[in-house]
């Protein structure tokens, strides 16, 4: 496919409006079942306003199914999603006009440059002329790709491609930005850069960041929801979840020969070699041994505690 890049605008592109109308996304008892009757979502209730929601859960928890419903790409089997009071299953364009979406399986045309690719997607989204050129330049700058916009996407790193993905999601200056598993496959430096970008984009915008990597949301999420096996296990702030695990985190030094047995018997969030053995962080309602000492939990400890307590461990 051949796409001609639009000419660069003479003036800088206008920044997205700092003043946005109030927005509210309500998820009411949403269920989703496949034709074989297996249930991917089992009654999800959420109420979202501007800020960053970290949607956490292991692979297979139902996060991507929920993201597709919120992006109007699937309809719930039961329940409803309301955008500013409007049922999006009945009137999806009410949300689509305000939506930016980066799916987990986002792909690019490797022969195109970043500028050409965004120009093509701007046209697909109905933008044209000077407005399209201005939005392309604004979004390239917003994700830090202004200086590399004329390089072929096939030469981009994984992190740079993900930034292109965010740029395309921002073309219509959305009120709601949905990002599904954005850091899978990225190296630590690219992952950190992506987290900073998401934080910078928040402002008055509503962002839903779906991931199974706790560190992706630890520093940026203003709200947190945890899913497992299609059910919502927690809905609150990161601090509230950490508080729940306050007396369930322990540090325990064991000999290296005892590590395998400890892992089989307990939920271990971290391990590190120390003089004389291995220091384990154990998630348990009771001390795993007489010489274990209480520790202050972090978000990953609390997340593992929630999953383990749900499983009855």
Look up the CATH number of domain 25-236: 3.40.50.300
119 band by pLDDT with thresholds 50, 70 and 90: very high
Assess contact for 30 and 87: CB atoms under 8 A. no
Q: How many angstroms separate the first and last alpha carbons of the chain?
A: 54
Q: Find how far residue 78's CA is from the centre of its chain.
A: 24
In whole angstroms, give the CA distance from residue 297 to residue 299. Answer: 7
| Mean pLDDT for all residues in the chain | 89
Assess contact for 172 and 97: CB atoms under 8 A. yes
pLDDT attached to residue 2? 37
DSSP string for residues in 81-112: EEETTEETTT-THHHHTTEEEE-TT----TTS
Determine what percent of the chain is predicted with pLDDT higher than 70. 92
Mean pLDDT of 156-177: 92
In whole angstroms, give the CA distance from residue 16 to residue 190. Answer: 25
Token pair listed for 36 = 């074989």
Assess contact for 36 and 66: CB atoms under 8 A. no
Please, which residues bridge with residue 87 across strands? Answer: 82
């Amino acid at each position: 496919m051949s796409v001609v890049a639009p000419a660069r605008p003479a003036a800088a592109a206008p920044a997205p409006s700092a003043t946005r109308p109030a927005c509210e996304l309500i998820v009411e008892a949403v269920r989703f079942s496949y034709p074989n009757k297996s249930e991917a979502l089992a009654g999800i209730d959420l109420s979202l306003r501007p800020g960053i929601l970290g949607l956490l859960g292991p692979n297979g928890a139902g996060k991507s199914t929920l993201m597709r419903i919120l992006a109007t790409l699937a309809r719930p089997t039961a329940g409803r999603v309301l955008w500013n009071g409007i049922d999006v299953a009945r009137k999806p364009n009410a949300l689509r006009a305000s939506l930016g979406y980066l799916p987990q399986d986002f792909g690019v045309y490797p022969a195109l440059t970043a500028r050409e690719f965004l120009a093509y997607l701007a046209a697909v989204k109905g933008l044209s002329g000077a407005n399209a050129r201005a939005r392309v330049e604004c979004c390239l700058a917003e994700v830090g790709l202004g200086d590399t916009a004329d390089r072929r996407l096939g030469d981009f790193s994984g992190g740079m491609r993900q930034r292109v993905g965010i740029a395309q999601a921002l073309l219509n200056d959305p009120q709601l930005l949905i990002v599904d598993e954005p850091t899978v496959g990225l190296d630590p430096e690219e992952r950190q850069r992506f987290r900073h970008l998401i934080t910078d984009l928040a402002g008055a915008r509503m962002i839903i960041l779906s991931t199974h990597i706790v560190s992706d949301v630890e520093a940026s999420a203003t709200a947190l929801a945890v899913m497992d096996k299609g059910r919502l296990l927690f809905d609150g702030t990161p601090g509230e979840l950490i508080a729940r695990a306050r007396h369930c985190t322990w540090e325990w030094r064991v000999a290296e020969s005892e590590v395998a047995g400890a892992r089989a018997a307990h939920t271990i969030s971290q391990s590190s070699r120390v003089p004389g053995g291995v220091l384990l962080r154990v998630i348990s309602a009771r001390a795993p041994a007489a010489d274990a000492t209480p520790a202050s939990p972090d978000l990953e400890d609390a997340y593992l505690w929630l999953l383990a307590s749900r499983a009855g461990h």
